[in-house]
């Protein structure tokens, strides 16, 4: 339930079909995926990319702000995977790619909700990868750093400038750079990659 204008533009440019539903709502995910499969056929690739921020330090964070971010960013992964996993298991093939975040790896001031959700995605990914491998399904995660998106464009310019100074490649990433990783993980070339976390942050946070 985000940028409807952008979704329509995507349809016009690519001839891809878009469907709109609230991924933080379990029943909406069930109905939405059923509608997709009725019109387009079985879902073989799922990319969980929904994300919102509602920042506040913990001692000022309300339960509403906590739950909104957790449900949209983390519970949506469960709800969407639950909607398609049985079909993938029955067909013996599937690709699930979960978009986490650099802040799920290192934490971020004022983002206990967001960081918890994005870190939770990594544990979720590893567990589901183990459960699903024998059925021909791979499950992997991508941890982008700061990317040029609607979310980052709403940040103050001086804040963005300070962030870029922390990135060794001296720039933010682009959506296409993340999308290229998604395309690779969804392809046959990535058949032996399972339960992995791939970082795309320009060297801002390097993991072993």
Catalytic residues: 114
22 alpha-carbon distance from chain centroid: 15
User: Which candidate, 93, 74, 77, 76, places its Cα nearest to that of 134?
Assistant: 93
Report helix, strand and coil shares of the chain as percent, to nearest 5.
55, 10, 35
Contact indicator for 178, 200 with CB cutoff of 8 Å: yes
Please name which of 114, 118, 115 lies closest in space to residue 98, comparing C-alpha atoms.
118
């Amino acid at each position: 339930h985000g940028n409807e204008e952008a979704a329509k533009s995507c349809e016009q440019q690519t001839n891809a079909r878009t469907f709109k539903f609230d991924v933080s709502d379990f029943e909406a995910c069930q109905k939405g995926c059923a509608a997709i499969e009725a019109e387009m056929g079985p879902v073989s690739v799922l990319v969980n990319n929904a994300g919102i921020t509602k920042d506040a330090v913990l001692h000022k964070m309300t339960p509403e702000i906590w739950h909104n971010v957790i449900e949209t960013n983390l519970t949506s992964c469960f709800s969407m995977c639950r909607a398609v996993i049985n079909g993938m298991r029955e067909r013996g093939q599937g690709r699930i790619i979960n978009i986490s975040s650099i802040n799920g790896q290192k934490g971020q001031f004022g983002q206990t909700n967001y960081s918890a959700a994005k870190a939770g995605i990594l544990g979720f990914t590893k567990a589901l990868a183990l459960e699903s491998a024998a059925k021909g399904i791979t499950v992997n995660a991508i941890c982008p750093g700061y990317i040029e998106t609607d979310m980052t464009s709403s940040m103050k310019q001086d804040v963005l400038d300070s962030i870029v100074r922390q990135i060794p490649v001296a720039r933010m990433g682009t959506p296409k750079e993340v999308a290229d990783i998604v395309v690779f993980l969804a392809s046959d070339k990535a058949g032996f990659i399972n339960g992995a976390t791939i970082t795309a942050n320009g060297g801002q946070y390097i993991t072993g």
